Structure 1
Amino acid sequence: MGRTRPGPPAPRRRGDPGLFGPDSVSWQTHADPMMWVAGVRALYLQALHPRAVAGVMQNSDFRKDAWGRLLRTARYVATTTYGTTEAAEKAAARVRKIHRMLGADDPVTGERFGVDEPELLLWVHCAEIDSYLHVVRRSGFPLNDALADRYVAENRTSAALVGLDPADVPADTAQLARYFESVRPHLTAGADAREVDDFLRRPPVHRLLVPARALLWRRVAELAYESLPPFAHTLYGRPAPAPATVTRRLSSTGRLLRAIPSQVRWQLPPKHILTAVARLGPETRPAPYTASRAAAILDGPGTARRGDGGDGTRWGTPG
């Protein structure tokens, strides 16, 4: 019997891989430029929970600081994904400390509550994870069902960072869908949600930036709203195009943004991804084809081309 020739040794990575590491689905997914659209979708979705949105509106001037809130969320996700373990844990500790200090009044009952209630933390987490996963998949990023499940499971780490027990957090897409079914009766588009909607549709900007708002931001906000689940459109009272039309728009936007070289996109401060790659080696660069390769291994040829965003819509991802 002939000897089996050993394969090439695995690359020895230098430095701390952080909480997720280059072999995670999150490492590949969070580098995608469609995460910006996904972040706005998450804001739309989160605003439908009366207590969650009250906690935001009563503790900050959302209209004056909405851009800062979006950027801080993006930086936090980048730090916990691509930063060192120490950096991620420090960022999470700051968030937990702020949450412990804040409270708000229930808009219906007047009851005082803490913004770090597990119910609220879970809603914010699930709205974000659902939005990130839905938008990147529906816009053509190659994640099959198995990788989508792995992504949801990985991000129980994110839930633990903000103080949740991972055992209470959805571990796959089926559990995530069941969670939304359970919480839907408690969602509504109250006054706070409509204020968020109004801001996202027409954010105040300097008069010189009005043309840019019309050209760029409007498309982002419209895509984010259109990609919401149908129940959210019903609550907000604004219709959305047919699902197939939304998928085409997300796909075309995804192709356009992904055509911008990653080295250009990743130059935006604070350059978390470039810092992570410098720390761990060039082979750790996030890339869609890395996820695609993993999808093919998990499901076999031809099966990584289908996705489901949770609203019954089906689409194909690029092969």
Structure 2
Amino acid sequence: MDYMRNYLTEYRDELQRTFTGTSGTPPEWVPRLAEGNDAGYYLPGSAVWAVHGHVATIIAGIRVLLMQALHPGALAGVYEHSGFQKDPLGRLANTIRWIFTVTYGSKDAAEAATLRVRKIHEHVRGTYVDGTGARRDYAANDPELLRWVHVTYADSFITANRIWGQAIPGGPDAYVREWAVAGQLMGVQDPPVTYAQVRDELERWYSSGVLRADERLAETVSFIRTPPLSPLLRPGYRILFAAAVASLEPKYRAILGIGPARLGPIPLPVITAARAVLGMVRLALGSHGPSELAARRRLQRLGYAQV
């Protein structure tokens, strides 16, 4: 019993360090989510809280990294300007901070966090070659690239939630409609508000020929497959990565150059195995994360019922 308790404690600490850069206690920005004088953009019972509060978001995060890398403009911005190779966990922690601040924070906190991201994006510029061979300029705040990031995010989080998550209040359309507010904060113009629109936009991008496979994409996929994680987390991550790959449509896997996990000709049951890994993560971290709990304290202070 003591061994299992100690193992779970060490496992929890490594998970927290990976996601936030700290362990034992939440990072300094999490308690501040209890501050503010408004309810924020999302409330308990919303589609966004239901999706983002589930551990299936871990697989969604892996999946969205793979999907976003398919666009050579988005990939160029990450590859040339971010520290994803030198400090991938730092970049992950910053991304999680933005998502959770927008999800659980006050409107002022969400807007301030978004402004920080957009200011960083102002310096992310360059050129890339698309799948048709045309050279194009890119900027991280370009509405086209922001839209690609937003749409692939929505699709990945809905897909992962459908396979490993829970029922979404109002269904996938409610999630897309609610998360469109986050897209607008980031500068996405007229973001999709139904899941059918998300799927239509992805199909248009695929049919446009812009998406591209090259050495840079192969290197990025290899890095996402084997990031520098703690040895304690690597076995579970391999399963979650394989599950994320299995959740992709075959046409996207073909561009990425990866296929479903197999033992010879036999497909491995990664969907089921991923459920077991996510169950372990939930056991280690608990059913309600510190960001959600901080938001609930703010809502209680403001007098909102049913929090």
Please state which band the TM-score falls in when normalised by the shorter chain. 0.7 to 0.9
1:310 corresponds to:
none
1:155 corresponds to 2:175: no
Give the distance between the partners of 2:270 and 2:205, measured in 1 at CA.
25
Mark the runs of 5 or more structure 2 residues left unpaired by the alignment: 1-35
Change (3 A) 1:75 1:149: same
2:76 corresponds to:
54
Partner AA of 1:204 in structure 2:
P
1:138 corresponds to:
163
Cα shift at 1:37? 1.5
Change (3 A) 1:88 1:30: same
SS in 1 for 2:110: helix
Q: Where in structure 2 are the equivalents of 1:158-307 lying within 5 Å?
A: 158-165=182-189, 167=190, 169-185=191-207, 186-204=210-228, 209=230, 211-240=231-260, 245-259=269-283, 262=286, 266=289, 271-281=290-300
SS in 2 for 1:62: coil
Cα shift at 1:120? 0.3
The answer to whether the 8 Å contact 1:105/1:112 transfers is: yes
SS in 2 for 1:106: strand
Larger radius of gyration: 1
- Aligned residue pairs total 260
Q: TM (normalized to structure 2)?
A: 0.76
1:114 corresponds to 2:139: yes
1:76 corresponds to:
98
Deviating runs (4+, > 6 A) in structure 1?
Answer: none
Give the distance between the partners of 2:93 and 2:176, measured in 1 at CA.
23
Partner AA of 2:124 in structure 1:
L
1:102 corresponds to:
124
SS in 1 for 2:188: coil
The answer to whether the 8 Å contact 1:20/1:27 transfers is: yes
Partner AA of 1:218 in structure 2:
R
Cα shift at 1:238? 2.1
Partner AA of 1:127 in structure 2:
T
Give the distance between the partners of 2:276 and 2:251, measured in 1 at CA.
25
Cα shift at 1:225? 2.0
SS in 1 for 2:81: coil
Partner AA of 2:296 in structure 1:
V
SS in 2 for 1:61: coil
Q: Could you give the per-residue CA deviations for residues 265-300 of structure 1, whole angstroms, max 9, x where no partner exists?
A: 62xxxx321110111139655xxxxxxxxxxxxxxx
The answer to whether the 8 Å contact 1:35/1:132 transfers is: yes
Change (3 A) 1:249 1:213: closer
Give the distance between the partners of 1:247 and 1:143, measured in 2 at CA.
20
Change (3 A) 1:124 1:243: farther
Change (3 A) 1:255 1:212: closer
Mark the runs of 5 or more structure 1 residues left unpaired by the alignment: 1-13, 286-319
Give the distance between the partners of 1:184 and 1:112, measured in 2 at CA.
19
Root mean square deviation, CA, Å:
2.6
The answer to whether the 8 Å contact 1:100/1:116 transfers is: yes
Give the distance between the partners of 1:92 and 1:98, measured in 2 at CA.
10
The answer to whether the 8 Å contact 1:47/1:189 transfers is: no
2:149 corresponds to:
124
Change (3 A) 1:67 1:21: same
1:41 corresponds to 2:63: yes
Partner AA of 2:81 in structure 1:
N
The answer to whether the 8 Å contact 1:82/1:272 transfers is: yes
